[in-house]
Structure 1
Amino acid sequence: MFQLALILLGNDFVKRQWWWLAGMGFVWAISGVAIFVDAVGRAAYFPVHPFGYLVLIAVAITLLLSGGWLLRRAIRLARRPEHVSMAALLSKDLPAASPAMRSTDATQVTGLLVVHVWTPISLAGEMIPNPLLDRYIAAVDIHGTVSTGHAALECTPDIYVSHQPAVEIDPSSASFLELVGKDVAGTFEPSYEVEAAGWCDSTAHVVFDHFDRARLASFWDVYRQDTTYNLAHRNCSSSVAHCLEAALEGSLGADEKSLVALFRVIFNPELWYAAQRRKCAQAMTWTPGLVLDYAQALQAAMTRAPVGWESLLSGMRRSWRYGVDVFAARVSRQGKAARYQSRVTPRRKDDH
């Protein structure tokens, strides 16, 4: 989550507000130490169960490691030069220092940014159902043909990111596993129209209307100089993910005078989900299914999706006000009914 937050906030925001990030990391680290000491002390003097305090210890270690990472990263990023690409700086597969990958001062938006995904299920024939594998890895039909899907990124009029091996790799072949992790010759498709005409239209797409086209163009100019294709860490999906992060870098850190952007990133549930998809891809590899989930989560976070903490709180406030109004109206009706009943009820003889 922290890496994705730093990418979306951008290097300029970090250099302005790095002390807030460092302070947050320091507080988290101290909180982790305090919880750890308290849990260990309670486990030593008040042993309830051998594993009774493991949850607190796990939370303490998580806070300590996360706070230490954020503190160290904030201090290191504060000393970085201006306009260094944050996405390249935090990625293990990309060169961190490259003049062509530096950002621009102004956001230039021309056209739309579209992430195209060909899902494995849509490309397979009469398939054998395999939950999760069909969605995120590959689909297998009844004839044994394996389909892994494809991902591409389009930014009109002249940017199209579609990385494929120069010689098609058959996932059903016996030598497929031998090619995993090995560099092979690759190529880039010229445009979506050419690729769709030679294959088929994409089965899913995600559209972004707020991005930095200049940053994306500079990143793409550097990335496409190397056509090497690798199934593990430089495939079609990883290329789309890196270009998407370059285009969206700094999009949530434009506010220079307040920390609204920082808290909006930290407490955005869509970004937490996107961070989990990114973490899965880093642990395994980028696949079309992960790219689709990642792009949809980022798109929802960028366009203020209706389902979120803000809408949840506003809905709770509206429900509370409605309940108060209903209760007040019910009390008022009960009072009026009681007064009317007292007027129309005849008095008994023994009443004084």
Structure 2
Amino acid sequence: MVRLVMILLGVDYLRTRWRSLQIVGWISLVLGLVVFVDALDNALYFPITPFALLLLLEGLGTLAIAWTGMGGQRTLRYVKGLAFCVAAALILAGHHHGNFILSMIFGTLFLADGTLQIVSARVVRYRTWRLAVAGGALEIALAIFFFQPFPTHYVGTVPYCLGLGLMFGGWNLILLSTRVRRLSSNPAVAPGDAHATMGSRTPGVPLKTEWDGPPAADEAALTVHVWTPVGSARSEARRQLIVDRYIAAVDRHGVISTGHAALESPEGIYISLYPGVEIDRSPDDFTRLLRATRENDVPGVFQPDYQTESTAWCPSTIQVRIRNYDPVRLRRFWDAYRQDTTYNLTHRNCSSTVSRALEAAIEGASARVWGSVGDWRPFWRVITTPELWVAAQLRKRAATMAWTPGLTLDYARALSMLADPRPSGWVKMARLAVRRMIHSRQQWREEARNAPAAQEAASSAARSGARE
């Protein structure tokens, strides 16, 4: 999440506020530690019932405005609202059963995530895979802590989670402030590029802070093209839950389709990396091929443009379009990146290339949008947007496994919500209510103006009927 915040806000914006970030980080870390230690005995001082009521109100409020979202935003709001309501209900249920169920849920989540991280890191063997294994082991240790009843027999489950959240959040803020203090450019976007300029405004981007929806068809925008494994299969694919969404699809003839991703800008930049030679994907060498090591590097080739690629293959299945991007940063990234045409199945493929280009293009997007309306508003708006957490989890999963077209698609959708902010649900509901009130008042005025004419017409019709 630290890297994503650096990408969205830019180093210049964060560097001027590093002391405040570090102070808030230490306060959050110490407060989280106090809450966690307090929960280690049965004498809880944490106000558990008021916290559950706040959680329930937040969940109900999120569900009330979830219908105002669009696409994935609506789904995310429903998931968040339901999760908060269920958690609050279990907390308010109290006693052994509610706390036990919550402990099992949290323990299972930590266990599944830690196990997946360790397995994928050992298989892919990317540069920092040992650190990922250590992180996975820590998650498994936390899972065991939640599963076993010692020391509070599950009574301290909620304070444990809140304390861990505050501690991890505080540590991330401290880490973020320490990094940006000494940086002159953003290593999360352009490693080795010392000439990146921060805080520039994207040419052509309107001075707006919110947009009601995605860009119109005739609106200039950055486009992420995704060919999903199912959508790009030559014949009808055999549906496999999750596998055909994020890994590969197999059609009825046994042909495997892994999908593809590309990025296109209105300025004429087209980024689409293919292996220059056919990669042998035989099952016997499958584990070896997944390793992000130099022996699996092959020559690659960049496609010239979308028209050529779609004509030779097929049109992209899904497109994600973003208004708020920086063509200068994208051009700088592309000029440096295309000097190396190496292709690696898990480390440097079409999806990882598009994801890195997208991050370069939207660097500083939140600071550009919100920077003119408040000193700290860009920061708080970013960290309180649910899509930031989703994007951070997707980035983490791709970094410990491999970027795939499915992950790139979800990542681009989440980043589009952060780069082109949508109005909050409450604001949207208020706007709809005001519009309805105005429309109703206009109808009433129209009816009032037309009432005398209608009465006159009715009187004339009555008189004509009487004469007859």
* TM, length-normalised to structure 2: 0.60
Give the C-alpha shift of residue 30 in structure 1.
1.4
Distance in 2 (CA, whole Å) between partners of 1:145 and 1:55 is 48
Aligned equivalent of 2:347:
233
Aligned equivalent of 1:271:
388
Give the C-alpha shift of residue 9 in structure 1.
0.6
Give the C-alpha shift of residue 129 in structure 1.
1.4
What are the equivalent positions in structure 2 for 1:54-93 lying under 5 Å apart?
A: 54-81=157-184, 84-88=185-189
Aligned equivalent of 2:23:
23
1:153 to 263, 266, 291: 263
Q: Is 1:105 the equivalent of 2:200?
A: yes
Structure 1 stretches of 5 or more lacking a match? 89-94, 323-352
Distance 1:316 1:293, change over 3 A: same
Distance in 1 (CA, whole Å) between partners of 2:175 and 2:405 is 33
**Preserved contact between residue 12 and residue 199 of structure 2 (Cα < 8 Å):** no
Distance 1:59 1:128, change over 3 A: same
* TM, length-normalised to structure 1: 0.78
Give the C-alpha shift of residue 288 in structure 1.
0.5
What are the equivalent positions in structure 2 for 1:304-343 lying under 5 Å apart?
A: 304-305=421-422, 310-312=424-426, 315=429
Aligned equivalent of 1:119:
228
Aligned equivalent of 1:13:
13
Give the C-alpha shift of residue 2 in structure 1.
3.4
Q: Secondary structure at the match of 1:117?
A: strand
Give the C-alpha shift of residue 143 in structure 1.
2.0
Aligned equivalent of 1:179:
289
Give the C-alpha shift of residue 207 in structure 1.
1.3
Distance in 1 (CA, whole Å) between partners of 2:385 and 2:152 is 37
Distance in 2 (CA, whole Å) between partners of 1:244 and 1:116 is 12
Give the C-alpha shift of residue 101 in structure 1.
5.1
Q: Write out per-residue CA displacement over residues 215-257 of structure 1, whole angstroms, 9 at most, x where no aligned residue.
A: 1111111112221111112110011011101110101113165
Distance in 2 (CA, whole Å) between partners of 1:33 and 1:283 is 28
CA RMSD of aligned residues (A): 2.8
Distance 1:294 1:249, change over 3 A: same
Distance in 2 (CA, whole Å) between partners of 1:318 and 1:98 is 46
Distance in 1 (CA, whole Å) between partners of 2:250 and 2:43 is 51
Residue 187 of structure 1 aligns to which amino acid in structure 2?
A: V
Aligned equivalent of 1:218:
332
Residue 343 of structure 2 aligns to which amino acid in structure 1?
A: Y
Q: State, as a whole percentage, how many aligned pairs show the same letter.
A: 42
Q: Is 1:144 the equivalent of 2:254?
A: yes
Give the C-alpha shift of residue 6 in structure 1.
2.2
Q: Secondary structure at the match of 1:187?
A: strand
**Count of aligned positions:** 308
Q: Is 1:34 the equivalent of 2:135?
A: no
Residue 248 of structure 1 aligns to which amino acid in structure 2?
A: I
Distance in 1 (CA, whole Å) between partners of 2:232 and 2:367 is 39
Residue 178 of structure 1 aligns to which amino acid in structure 2?
A: R
Give the C-alpha shift of residue 130 in structure 1.
0.5
Residue 114 of structure 1 aligns to which amino acid in structure 2?
A: T
Distance 1:121 1:19, change over 3 A: same
Distance in 1 (CA, whole Å) between partners of 2:254 and 2:284 is 13
